Structure 1
Amino acid sequence: MKSKRLDRFRERLTLPLIAAPMFLVSGLELVVAACRNGVIGSFPTVNCRSTEQLGEWLTEIETRLQQHADTSGRKAAPVCPNLIVHRSNARLEQDVKLLLRHKPEIVITSVGSPAPVLKPLHDAGALVFADVASIRHAERAAEAGADGLVLLTAGAGGQTGWLNPFAFVRAVRSFYDGVIVLAGGISDGHALHAAEVLGCDLAYMGTKFIATRESLADERYKQMLVEASADDILLTTAFTGLQTNMLKPSIVAAGLDPDDLPARGAIDIGKDIDITARENRPKRWRDIWSGGHSTSGVMDVPAVDDLVARTLSEYRGAGGA
């Protein structure tokens, strides 16, 4: 079942795919490259150091995508800002006001209920997707009026869910007819098509976009993903206090033992989302990196153009329309 809520821009999508919003990884170049290739480009608004810089990013993205449309004759896929709606985000109100002026087509909310921002974003014409990690959270977001649900399943990189994707998607689809986005384990076009068969409208691809030329990730991070496999992913609460999938080799490189980590949340590598604080944090914590189970599918560090073309070929080969 395909949600009619996507009809307004479905023809602009090359793939039913979102380049996942990733803290300190999703930047202007990655978003632009994804969107002009027909993939929804998302980014956490807190990747910008200030609301002012967020406005600069959005203006630059909009300008470049308009230039692309003028040249190619095809309008790009939507840009999708990601709002952290947790009370710790001191910039939330200012960022929302800015987004209202730019009128994004989709906004994703994370780390809390979408309810406080739903009305103003809906009034501005945006679809609002909420990320959820449990059935109860999905029910609450649906009741609040979210247009889509991003299901964080076992295997998603960074802060993740624990539910099996097959069980999670089918359970949510039994009571929800909005847009369902599968997050976790999408490493190629075959997995993307399988997500559609399961009942999803869209899927996140995150880890493979980390290892692209356009991402903001450190080159060592990208190479580590190429060399790692799913066996190198550790689910731990040591760094953020929440279940998070991290790359074991980066933990070892920071001088820690992955099998003997401190207590829950004892190591702060970015639990706060005050971007100005990142420079004051010990450098080694910024070198502990996340990744999903789809790490096993990362074989190289291509340009986004090449990654999308490859994924499209796989998707069609698997039976995707």
Structure 2
Amino acid sequence: MNQITELLGIKYPIFQGAMAQISMSPLVSAVSNAGGLGIIATGSMSVDKLREEILKTQQLTDKPFAVNLMLMMANCEEIVDLVIELGVKIVTTGAGTPKRFMPKLKEAGIIVIPVVPSVKLAKKMEELGVDALVVEGTEAGGHIGEVATLPLVTSVVQSVSIPVVAAGGFSDGRGLAAAFALGASGIQMGTAFLASKECPIPDSYKEKIVSSVETDTVVTGRSQGAPVRSILNKMTLKYIEMEKAEMNREELEKLTMGSLRKAVVEGNTDEGSVMAGQIIGNIKQIRSVEDIIETTIEEYRHVNLPII
């Protein structure tokens, strides 16, 4: 049996990326019901809102799902306590180390899976006693590291003994086959699920995804040490111009203030932060979550690898 499916009790080794203000109960429950691992994103979320989302998800699915802990958030300790209180059994983590929460999480029997962008961090997380890793390459959408998925996953699987889920550049069964070839136990997809019927974002955002090609994303924020991959639009173009002009952090933050909400709530794809990965060119239609997952598995089963 696959290491990840056995560990988590899911049907397929497919994670749904934790996308801030997007990965909520409608999408999360749909992914879990279709056999993958739905993950609630806590970025910018209050404890009360998270309680609401967890309870809704528990009503919509009886399958495993996870909560992503953004460890840099001021209310992270309260969120951890809520996750334990409501009986969530899987967490993924990002933006820091889960070290201070590990005793509490493990005492509650919670499976901990950090998202890491380097071999160094992967080794540190294994030493902490985490259960698995999501290893994310720079092809991914949103906040990213600097190493591409292929060399990163290849290096990590040779450096740790716990299961690895590959992320960054996956949207179909060919990608799943490639991840297995690298030694990973599964894949995480984010951008692919943006173009799903169940994803709670405006149609304009979804249409932007399916109409874009692989060269349409750009990375902003490198000058500030916080690179983010999004679709090129008026806002990102202005940001890049300001970075080239060496504008200070305060001016850059003014430009991006509320930009994620503009995209995911208001549907403003010109001035909003339309985060997406480089796999965007492979996504051509809006489909149900079930179709995305089932097609991915079917494609994987029909991959014919040539014999050398």
Scaled to the shorter chain, the TM-score interval is 0.7 to 0.9
1:298 aligns with 2:283: yes
* 1:1-321 map, 5 Å: 2-3=2-3, 6-10=5-9, 12-13=10-11, 15-46=12-43, 48=45, 50-66=46-62, 76=63, 78-86=64-72, 89-237=73-221, 241-248=225-232, 251-252=233-234, 254=235, 256-257=237-238, 260-262=241-243, 263=246, 265=249, 266-268=251-253, 269=256, 287-318=272-303
Q: What CA distance in whole angstroms lies between the structure 2 residues aligned with 1:150 and 1:255?
A: 27
Question: Counterparts of 2:120 and 2:236 in 1: how far apart (Å)?
Answer: 38
Q: Distance in 1 between matches of 2:129 and 2:258?
A: 28
Secondary structure of the residue aligned to 2:61 is: helix
Q: Which runs of 5+ in 2 are unaligned?
A: none
Q: CA deviation at 1:46?
A: 3.2
Equivalent residue number for residue 72 of structure 1: none
- Name the CA shift for 1:215/1:194 in 2 (closer, same or farther; >3 Å): same
Q: Match of 1:231, SS?
A: coil
Instruction: Name the aligned partner's letter for residue 294 of structure 2.
Output: A
1:236 Cα deviation after fit: 2.0
The percentage of counterpart residues that share the same residue type is: 25
Q: For 1:270 and 1:62, locate their aligned partners in 2 and report how far apart those are by CA, in whole Å.
A: 33
- Measured in 2, the distance between the counterparts of 1:222 and 1:213 equals 9
8 Å contact from structure 1 (residues 83, 110) kept in 2: yes
- Is residue 238–residue 261 contact of structure 1 (8 Å, CA) maintained in 2? no
Report the Cα distance in structure 2 between the residues aligned to 1:211 and 1:305, rounded to whole angstroms: 12
Instruction: Say which SS state the counterpart of residue 188 (structure 2) adopts.
Output: strand
Q: 1:219 to 1:160 in 2, by over 3 A?
A: same
Q: 1:272 and 1:109, CA in 2 relative to 1: closer, same or farther beyond 3 A?
A: farther
- Distance verdict in 2 for CA 1:178–1:96, change over 3 Å: same
Flag structure 1 segments of 5+ consecutive residues without an equivalent.
67-75
Q: How far apart, in 2, do the equivalents of 1:285 and 1:137 lie? A: 35
Distance 1:32 1:151 in 2: 23
Task: Return the letter of the residue paired with 1:166.
Answer: L
The alignment yields a C-alpha RMSD, in angstroms, of 2.9
For the residue of structure 2 that corresponds to 1:166, the secondary structure is helix
Shift of 1:271: 9.1
Inter-CA distance 179–103: structure 2 relative to 1 (3 Å threshold):
farther
Deviation string 1:96-151 (CA, Å, 9 cap, x unpaired) is 10001122221011000121111111111111011111222222212222211211
1:172 to partner: Cα distance: 1.5
* Aligned-residue offset at 1:260: 2.3
Matched-pair contact (CA < 8 Å) for 1:131–1:150? yes
Q: What's the TM-score, normalizing by structure 1?
A: 0.83
User: What displacement does 1:55 show?
Assistant: 1.4
The Cα offsets for residues 257-284 of structure 1, whole Å up to 9 and x where unpaired, read as: 47624347543336999x9xx99xxx88
2:252 and 2:156 mapped to 1: Cα distance? 34
More displaced 10-residue stretch of structure 1: 31-40 or 191-200: 191-200
Any idea what the Cα deviations from partners look like across 1:26-78, whole Å, max 9, x if unmatched?
11100010000001001212364x21221122122112213xxxxxxxxx2x2
Q: Shift of residue 8 of structure 1?
A: 4.3
1:71 counterpart residue number: none
The amino acid that maps onto 2:27 is L
Q: How far apart are 1:255 and its partner, in Å?
A: 8.3
The alpha-carbon deviation at position 238 of structure 1 amounts to 6.4
Per the normalisation by structure 2, the TM-score is 0.86
* Aligned-residue offset at 1:199: 0.7
The amino acid of 1:317's aligned partner reads H
